[in-house]
Amino acid sequence: MNICVTGGAGYIGSFIVRRLCELEHRVTVVDDLSKGHMEAVDPRAHFIQADCGDKRAMAELLAGRRIEAVVHMAASSLVGESVTAPAKYYRNNLIASLSLLDAMAEAKVSRLVFSSSAAVYGEPERQPIAEDAATVPINPYGRTKLLFEQALPDFAAAYGLGAVCLRYFNVAGALPDGTLGEDHNPESHLIPLVFQAALGLRKSITIFGDDYPTPDGTCIRDYIHVLDLADAHVLAIEAAEAGQVAAFNLGNGDGFSVRQVIESAQRVVGRPIPTEIGPRRPGDPPVLVASSEKIASQLGWDPARGDIEMILDDAWAFHQSHPKGY
């Protein structure tokens, strides 16, 4: 298939591009390189540096390259920043995405896989979270993801779009050989920061709050390996059905506290990692654990690297070989 991946130079996007290339799809990456890394883009893909919100350019590109499916990953994704700079999030995640849909309709591209987030749920009371839980986002990031999801049924009805929204929980891990992994600047995610502390690149890892209503007082998250996530995208592309919109959670169904992640990371690196306790980070729900039964039963998704130590082992391989990133 001819597949366009927006944000294909980013952490998650680069893994999806690699998997699609492995499966011999013809992949076009559109990325403005504002966050992504050229080094992470699979050389088998065709790379175009562009803004996926440029409707004219995208309509021409999609038609010219006979694109049959779009995997839309390009987005701003820092919850804290979305609170202080919401305009950027509405522009990049909502306006640009709607304009991409407009370009897809014009170029008659009818399959979309959209990178959505657990952030659409806000702070649900019941865990694990199923797709029919109430969607009440608590920050602009989550709202922009949800608003875009909500526009999709109208495009499905009017233009025959088939869309699959994948609501990611906490994506982590790397290629086991350490050649491809997570490199954000600035880094804000727990696992890369823990390994930076392990490498002595930062003094310690700060635990954001130890007074949450959880067994050890720290926040609980559901970590999913980026390779398993990439497999889910392949299934989602195949499942996108004209005129239909579906949403699936992606997690492992197991919650790990911040302390448990740090303890596992210590086992992986084989030495203590300095930690300190800091205040809560605004906007962090205490617990987010996915039920991924729907994608398992409906699309046959079967994660191969769900074990937290496996996820950490692979992430450690990347951070050791790329201590300062790409």
Binding site for ligand UFG (CB under 6 A): 77, 79, 117-119, 141, 170, 188-190, 193, 205-208, 219, 221, 258, 281, 284
**Dihedral over Cα of 19, 12, 303, 317: its sign:** positive
If the CB atoms of residues 52 and 219 are measured against ligand UFG, the closer one turns out to be 219
Tell me, yes or no, if 141 is annotated catalytic.
Answer: yes
**Nearest distance, CB of residue 91 and ligand UFG, angstroms:** 17
What 3-state DSSP class applies to 21?
helix
- The two tokens of residue 274 are 């300095």
If the CB atoms of residues 41 and 146 are measured against ligand UFG, the closer one turns out to be 146
Residues 6+ apart with CB under 8 A from 91: 53
If the CB atoms of residues 237 and 290 are measured against ligand UFG, the closer one turns out to be 290
**Nearest distance, CB of residue 145 and ligand UFG, angstroms:** 8
**Structure-derived torsion over alpha carbons of residues 253, 258, 264, 265, reported in degrees to the nearest 10:** 120
Residue nearest to ligand UFG (CB): 219
Catalytic residue among 11, 89, 121, 141: 141
- Contact call for residues 37 and 47 (beta carbons, < 8 A): no
Q: Tell me the H-state helices in 160-225.
A: 190-198
If the CB atoms of residues 35 and 111 are measured against ligand UFG, the closer one turns out to be 35
The secondary structure element, H or E, covering residue 28 is: strand 26-31
Active site residues: 141
